[in-house]
Chains A and B, each alone.
Chain A
């Protein structure tokens, strides 16, 4: 059993690495898009799509599925890559991202691509939409889980705190917010642009259950979600500390990589680093 679990974790870690590589290729092909946070959250999306979510890529409208609401829509390249590997659509379609007539819009559009649960991009409204789904599930006595991925920067938005207040008051135990705490936003480090801390205490004050984890530790992500599921009387926020640009040394923790893609030379370098795990193994 333990061996199987270890294998699972190893598989997910490798999946996260595959997702990062495909992200680099996808962003270069698109010619625009967000590099830092997508690389930084690859472990979270690998864990979600290949272990945590109860979903069926062949039946994206299955009524009992868990919902993944992406609030920070600019993360969509990592969402699309994870969905493609999971089998929602062919990997080749990733080449159409941000191009004309594509189902892969620059920011996700509900209705364009089966499996996309909500429109996002304009920040701060995903949690509200997730709340709507959590309320509906509660009214219909459904057992599915509603996950929301939010960015730290979008917590500048007042709408986020309206939603946090509402979910706390209504004790939405079926709602899990995974907050990607990567400390950057477009204009700089979050604590310089608009200090967000202390996030733990803020969420606790609004009647949420709070967990803090290393967002690159797949095992920690899975454990945190399992713990959140055991908390019935409150919504849970998992504050996942991540390194933006994770896996590519010249992108890591550099806020200037927030909203730009690598050029082809940078991409070659990035892919070499990812394929060799930063030089630890030989490239295939």
Chain B
């Protein structure tokens, strides 16, 4: 059942639950950050409305910097701004930032440990019709591998807002990943968000499997958990919004409690959330795992729902993985 301490939306399982793209939360978070810290500056590479950086631009035009379609230059400029005491956010689609400008981020942000926040919009296969060129399914891997880098994958628009504000407050390089499509807003202002602290959103008594998820797929994991409960299969769902530094304690605790784990992410299985969980568990309490994600393949054009089903990341797939893994306990 829903963990009451998570203070999730009372509407959570209603058909007409409020929906919003996670990027909306980014724009709102930027405005809050811009209000409490006059050093916050925002850079965008020609997709200002799309990333919702426009909310900040309209409020603080003097602190908004348009760089044109030049993500590499954007990362370098942000590093220079940070070296002069600014708190820059660079925003583009994840495919291009941190995709195209990864080396600039690696050397001039992560290695230099400059206070640059990188936000990758339109991550995951749910980008849909634009096709595989615009569906970043590798960005968690390429960012979590960088020393000094924090990686956040918020689960809905509200949590994206909280993550954006947190990134502005925390000193050092951060990456925040978010999506294009509208997804349910199932957390509330009261839902805890502490960077580096995973939250248990669903917990049955005597759970047989821990579903560890990130991003909007956390909602799918909750729907799967509810349907599994009706079958008599008891699970626990973790909203693992911080991929790095990962909340080792919670991951180990839930693995020990359940003795089976399913990871759920809109990303390549290799190198993403599931990989990070497996690294922790292999060292502390080896646990049978199933991985929901992209299996060493690129996406394609289609509607988000079709794509998520076709690539085996939907609710049915999550339930299947849970049924499979609990047989290995």
Contacts and interface: CB of A to CB of B under 8 A. Distances in A.
Interface of A: 67, 69, 109-111, 117-119, 121-122, 125-137, 139-140, 158-159, 162-163, 165-166
Given A122-B103, A129-B83, A166-B77, 20 more contacts: A109-B112, A110-B114, A111-B112, A119-B112, A122-B107, A125-B108, A128-B75, A128-B80, A128-B104, A129-B108, A132-B77, A135-B77, A136-B86, A139-B41, A139-B62, A139-B86, A140-B85, A163-B73, A165-B68, A166-B67
Interface in B87-112: 88, 103-104, 107-108, 111-112
Contacts of B103: 122
Interface in B240-298: none
B107 A119 contact: yes
B112 A125 contact: no
B196 interface: no
Q: State the main secondary structure of chain B at its contact with A.
A: helix
15 contacts: A69-B80, A110-B114, A118-B108, A119-B112, A122-B104, A125-B107, A131-B76, A132-B84, A136-B81, A136-B86, A139-B86, A162-B70, A165-B68, A166-B67, A166-B77
B65 interface: yes
A162 B43 CA distance: 14
A108 to B, nearest CB: 10
A278 to B, nearest CB: 39
A120 to B, nearest CB: 8
Contact of A137 (B67, B68, B84): B84
Contacts of A162: 67-68, 70, 72-73
B77 A118 contact: no
A133 B84 contact: yes
Contacts of B76: 125-129, 131-132, 159, 163
Nearest to A135: B81
A56 to B, nearest CB: 17
B256 to A, nearest CB: 39
Given A110-B114, A125-B107, A159 B72 contact: yes
B218 interface: no
Nearest to A163: B73
A133 B70 contact: no
B78 interface: yes
Contacts of A131: 73, 76-77, 80
A118 B72 contact: no
B315 interface: no
A118 B83 contact: yes
